[in-house]
Structure formats: C-alpha cells, structure tokens
A and B are shown apart, each in its own frame.
Chain A
C-alpha cells in the first residue's frame, strides 16, 4: 500500500484562475483533508519580466546553482512539513503565476522526499482568452507550464468562440494531454485530485459519473505480458482517459504486483510486494468521449498488447 502523501501542483500564468480553482477545491465535497502550500514566489508580487530576466541571468551565469538553492529550499521546507508529526493528508501546491511548475514537480523526485510524497499531478490552468497576447518571454513560461502539465484546464473559454478554443488546443497542447474546460469557474474536481488513496487495486474506488459524461471501464487478464508491452499499451491510452489504475502481471517481474497509476498524462509504475492469490492484471480507467463503447478497454489493451508482444 502506498502511504505517501499525494501531491497536486496547481500552475498557470498570472490571472489564469488558480486561486479560484484552489478555493473551489478546498470547498469541494471530496472528503480530503487538504493542506495548501503557496510556492514562495507566489507571495512575491514581482512582475514576470523581472523574474524571467533574473532567473535567466542567474542560471546562465552560475550553471543553475542559485536555482538549485530555490529547489533545495522547497525540499527543506517540505521535509520539515513531512517530518513534523503533522504530515498533511493531501498536499496542494499553488505555484505562482510566474514560476515553472516543472521545477517544483522535480523536487518530488529528490531522494529526501520521494519516500514521503507522491506527485499525483501537475494541473496547469490556461487562459484561453489572453495567452496568445503575452510577450515572447511570458509565452515561453507558459510553454514551460504546459510542458510540466499532466492535466490542462482551459479557463475563460466562455469568453471566446469554440473555433478559437480549438485553435488554442491545436497550437499549445500536446496530443496526449488531457484537457478540461472550466465552465463558469467549475471544473470536475473529483478528477483533478487523487480519488483512490488507499488501495490502488480496488476498482470500486474509482467512481464514474455517467450523468456528467464520465465513464469507467475495467479489464482483467491472467496472462502475463512484458513490462515493455504494458508500458507501450498503457502509454497509448487516448487522452480522453484521464484516470487509470490497477495492478499488472509482468513476465519480467512474475513474483511482484506492479502497481500502475495514470493521472492525466502522468504514468507511474512501482513494485508492490508479492501477489496475494492468483497473479492477475486488473485495470480500471475513467474518462469521457468514446469510453461508453462496450468493451473499449478490453479491445484497446488486447490490441496494443498483441501488437507489442
């Protein structure tokens, strides 16, 4: 069982709606006790050009060392938080509008932190109305924010027509990046935060809500496949599948359960101890658009695995 604290980073350029989203998340009916950490730059009201200039200057000049000190600070602060005896149940980090969420995300890979916390997703908010008008420097920053994203949330889509939203997706987003539109300031909260903290193999914890246009499917198989095949097949799930989890029966690691998690475009694999009972691959996915077809997951997995075996 993964007892590490799940972490969601909420990013997005100035004015993209992060604070609104976080307030909504905090008030949401999800039963999670959320701790919010505001990234240090967030408290600092400096204009973005200045920060970019300084960051670029510092990084170019000192081969990244100063930036590392920012990173190590975050590591130290988070370490203190996790060791305090009052470790959060769920951690939400609000990145400032001018920060690179990838840099924040990377600290969860540091050795000091990875035993305590598990990065669940980077959620990047994108202002569909104003992003195209930003300066080159700011657009680079937005690229970095998208680059780090596992889930994109388009905001202010009600202020532009559908054609422009489509163009925006085409120009800015990746084919494999799931994206939602925040309608009237509301986004499907339950799919932004980890909804099944305790037992990744339990299908029941992934609740679907057909009324809202979200569908869930499951698939199981007692036939083992190679890890590489699973990686390819799961990596090929369409972007409309934004949550998936399960256990995998891999030829390469026949004695251990391999736990698989997908949040947005983030895929995670890890060893999870010996099998209890018969080894079996079990998968549950949740998403929209096309997932309502019968046998979608079974077809998708069996075709992908067959092609790669």
Chain B
C-alpha cells in the first residue's frame, strides 16, 4: 500500500507499483485465449497492468488506488465499429441552412423565407437550403429557375433544393460563381436543364449536376461538422464503442475531428478514411492530404491513414457488381465504377504509402477484383503491407473466401439487411435465392480470415448492438418477422469480431482489443452477461454501464466514478440516435 504522501506500502510486491484503478469482483470476458475469464483488472497509466482473480489483483491496490466493485457485472473489451459516417447523418442538420420549414411551401413562402434568411445572414455569401416543390410552381403556372429567383434576389448566389432532392434551383449569380454556362459539359450522373436550341442553363440542375453548384459553395460550416462528430462519437461511446472508422472524410472533416480531439472531447479512437473521389462531397487538397498532410492530424486518438473508394453500387438498384449476371437478367452484372487497372495502381500506390484502402464492394465481382488488386499489390510491394478492408462484403464468391486470410484482407460486414425484415426482404429481394448467402461471415471465419463489423450509419443504425446480436442469431432482433437469413457465428466469435478483430483491422491488435496485461485499458461494463443469456432479442437491449478508453472513463451513466480522480470529463447528455425503423 502507498500512503497519500506516496510512501510505498510494504505489502506491495517489490518493483511493482500499485494500480491507479482496480475493477474487481466482475465477470470479465477478456477475449484473450490464454485467459478468457477474469474477476478483476488493475489499470495504470491507461493500460491493464494485471488481469486475474480478485486475489491476484489485491496486491496491486494501494491507498491511492480507486477500487470499484463490479458486483458480479459482466465486462468485456470495448467495441470496434469499423465503418460509419456520423458527419453524413448529422452534418446537414446542424448547418443552419435555409429551411423553409414547410412540407409544401407556396412560391410566396419560398420567396419570403429566402429573403428573410438573406436579411438575417448578411455575412453569408451563399443562400443555400431547402426546399421548393415543383408541383407548387406548376400549380401556379410558373417555372422554377433562374428567372424566378433573379426576380427577387439577383445579387447574391442562391441555390434551393427541391423537396425530393432531385434537383436544385439556382439563380444567375450562383450559376456564374459555379461557372455553369451554356458551354458547361453535363456530368455523367445528371444534367443542366437548358433551352433546347440555345443551350442556355435555365437554373434547374438535375441530380449530379447540382454538385457543380455545391462545389462552388463554401464547405459545411465547422460548427456543423464538429457537432456531428461530437454527438456521433458520444452516442457510440455510450453504446460501448471504443474505436471506429469514419469513412469518407475531407480536409474540413479532418479539421473538425482534430478540433474535438484537441479539446479532449473525442471518446473513441478514430481512423478516418479520405475519399478517393468527389462522389460524396468535394475533397479539397486531396493529393496533399494523401501525400503526407494527413499526418498533421495524427494523435493517440486520431489518424487519417486510410482512403475510401466506391468500387460498385448497391443491392437495391442492382448495381452491385457480380461475377455472374443478376438473377433474372441475361447480361446485367451490375456496375463497376472504376477500371480494374485503376484499382490495381491505386491500391499498390496507397499501400506503398502505408495508407489503408477501404473498398466499397457489395457484389462478389467487386470483391473479386479488389482481392486481385491486393494480390497484385503484394506482388509489387512485397509482404508486410497494409491490411486493406473489403467494405460491406455483401456477396462473396465461395472461391474467394480463403483469399481474405491469404492476402491479409479484412472482410467487413455491415448490418443492414442482416436479418429478416420488411426492409431486407424488400430492398434485398433482387438477390433472389442468393439472399441466403449474403453476409457470409461464417464462410470467411471458417477459411481463417479476419472479419469485422461496421454499422454504416446512416444506411443502418449507428447502434452496433443490432448487428452484433444478429451476427449470432441471423434473426430479427425485435421479432417483427420470423425466419433466419444466412449462417450464424457463435457468441464468442461475434464478440471477438467486434473487439480484437477490430483492433487487428486498425493495426493495433498487439496493444488493444482484448483485456490483456500490457494492452490499452479499453473496457465496457454491461447490465447483462452476454454469454449466459440467449442472444436473440436480448443482446441489442444491452445497456452499457461504463465505457473506458485508454483507462479514461468516457461514459459513466451510473456515476460510479463521480467525485474521484477518474470522473469522466465527458458529461454532455447522450443524444438520442436510437435506431430508426429499418
């Protein structure tokens, strides 16, 4: 023991300093094969200094050691959400853009709201927001477009989205600043509405064409991005997440993450993946970031050493790229967004720079080409390269299952469509009989590969527990639909997938991901013992009573650490991102 004056107790073993904190009397599942269960852990300097029985830990308690009795509660390593996008989900909500605030505004109401916003925000160069309704214009016998906007606000750039986000109405100033003229070439994924004979833009930009306008606008304000990340990470942390990948970032997003990190408000470790193309938003200075400026953001909690790209589409519109034609199609295999050669060179180049590639591959053809690209990258760069990540892995070819292990590629599965539901059966129905083989976690594990899970918010809930439960059950967690889709993995395998495997995917499995002496003290305490209850209908309701990252308490709803040196700095309320109905 050590007195408050710091004088060492004679009971403390020679040469072994006492713990800062001890959690004892728990049912601690460690995910460490050498010692799967423990009663107590001792933590010092943010790491587990010892893991074992109450008796084994006892000698590490000094009088300055904070001891918390878990009273038999279940604890385990914190979770790893390896693919999510809180900024996409939340950023636009906080951006203070013009919001007309009516489902079906009249033309007068759009005009008034625009003018009011212009008056109230004299410093904002752009007036951007939503929404107008084409129907209302036609009902009034008018055409939306530059002429209408110019009639009341000609001197400041204005761009207003339609209610369905299918088009954007821009005034002449906005078109001018965006450089949109009769000579502008239409993008591949949309078009500029023009006079058919003169080619002059009329101020309506459809689908991909409104990116031309957005590219000219200032990026989302910093406060919107910082709030999005702060709240997203806060929710994740409250649900037991200790490490995450934020997939698709740009310079502004990295700046936002860095600001939170520097303020000590980042309760999770983040690996941020820079967008390879401007398909979600424009990425300024991409090449500088990838060339090395990414290191500017590096800290214990943050890195930007990854890149994300979209290789194929998605299941719902049948754009997943398949090896064979889609069910009920003669030739349609889905769409491939980039050439294989592009992928090969990019993967090899990124790998050489020690940048991890996260490849969106929903079809078996997409992952096939990605695995080929990694094989080529290993040939070019030699062994010891990055653990590139096959994102979503919705359908995998049987012949490729073993290649994940052979090539050291992470198979990431996202939970949308995991379990029988109206959404799954509907949106994924185009898979036909192949729906049963979707999300073949079992197959990759059996072939020796490493699997991880990503929530992919906002595509599905940011709460990892729904996907976590269904890894084990492959059934609907809420019991809304009977049946089972695909093959299960065991509770132990699922826990490993969300913990140690996640650490492996972040390249830190030697120092994190399990409750092992010497590793970072990442741990969560739950209200139930996952390994003693039926996962079905139960796991997703798990309450997290404590989240610890690097020995720091980041979520303490019970106030266990209140008044101690370990009291959490993060006291903001947990936002309510409870799952939407999917």
Contact = CB atoms under 8 A, between A and B. Distances in A.
B580 A77 contact: no
B74 to A, nearest CB: 34
Interface string A48-70: 00100111011111111111111
A26 B161 CA distance: 38
Interface stretch (A8-16, A108-116, A196-204, A211-219): A108-116
Contacts of A111: 185-188, 191
Contacts of A59: 164-165
A54 B423 CA distance: 10
A52 B344 CA distance: 39
Given A40-B316, A46-B422, A106 B197 contact: no
Interface stretch (B133-141, B150-158, B173-181, B294-302): B133-141
Contact of A258 (B93, B191, B197, B332): B197
A205 interface: no
A144 to B, nearest CB: 6
Given A44-B429, A60-B165, A61-B88, A109 B280 contact: no
Interface string B25-65: 00000000000000000000000000000000000000000
B104 A110 contact: no
Nearest to B91: A61
A269 B196 contact: yes
A77 B426 contact: no
Contact of A136 (B103, B133, B313): B103
A251 interface: no
A29 interface: no
A28 B379 CA distance: 62
Interface stretch (B206-214, B548-556, B562-570): B206-214
Contacts of B189: 68, 71-72, 75, 110
B188 A62 contact: no
Interface in B314-371: 314, 316-319, 331-332, 335
A180 interface: no
Nearest to A55: B164
A72 B319 contact: yes
Contacts of B430: 40, 43-44
A147 B138 contact: yes
A50 B198 CA distance: 42
Contacts of B103: 136, 140
Contacts of B141: 174-176
B317 A70 contact: yes
Nearest to A70: B317
A73 B188 contact: no
Contacts of A147: 133-135, 138
A62 B207 contact: no
A44 B335 contact: no
Size category of the binding interface on chain B:
35 or more
- Chain A CB count within 10 A is highest, among B88, B93, B189, for B189
Contacts of B190: 68, 71, 106, 110
Given A63-B281, A84-B331, A102-B134, A143 B104 contact: yes
Contacts of B557: none
The prevalent SS among residues of A at the interface is helix
Given A50-B423, A68-B208, A175-B141, A100 B135 contact: no
A74 interface: yes
Contacts of B281: 63
B507 interface: no
B228 to A, nearest CB: 11
Contacts of B161: 64
Given A140-B163, A176-B141, A64 B207 contact: yes
A270 interface: yes
A60 B135 CA distance: 20
Given A106-B166, A227-B197, A53 B134 contact: no
Nearest to B187: A111
Contacts of A80: 331-332
Interface string A266-282: 00111100000000000
B150 to A, nearest CB: 17
Contacts of B73: none
B135 A46 contact: no
Interface in A1-55: 40, 43-47, 50, 53-55
A103 interface: yes
Pairs of residues from A and B, 9 with the lowest C-beta to C-beta distance, nearest first: A73-B317, A46-B426, A59-B165, A147-B135, A64-B165, A61-B458, A73-B319, A143-B135, A109-B191
Interface of A: 40, 43-47, 50, 53-55, 57-77, 80, 84, 100, 102-103, 106, 109-112, 114, 136, 140, 143-144, 146-147, 174-177, 227, 250, 252-253, 258, 268-271
Interface of B: 88-89, 92-93, 103-104, 133-135, 138-139, 141, 161, 163-167, 185-191, 193, 196-198, 206-208, 210, 214, 279-281, 313-314, 316-319, 331-332, 335, 422-423, 426-427, 429-430, 458-459, 580-582
8 contacts: A54-B423, A64-B207, A66-B459, A69-B313, A103-B164, A140-B163, A174-B139, A271-B197
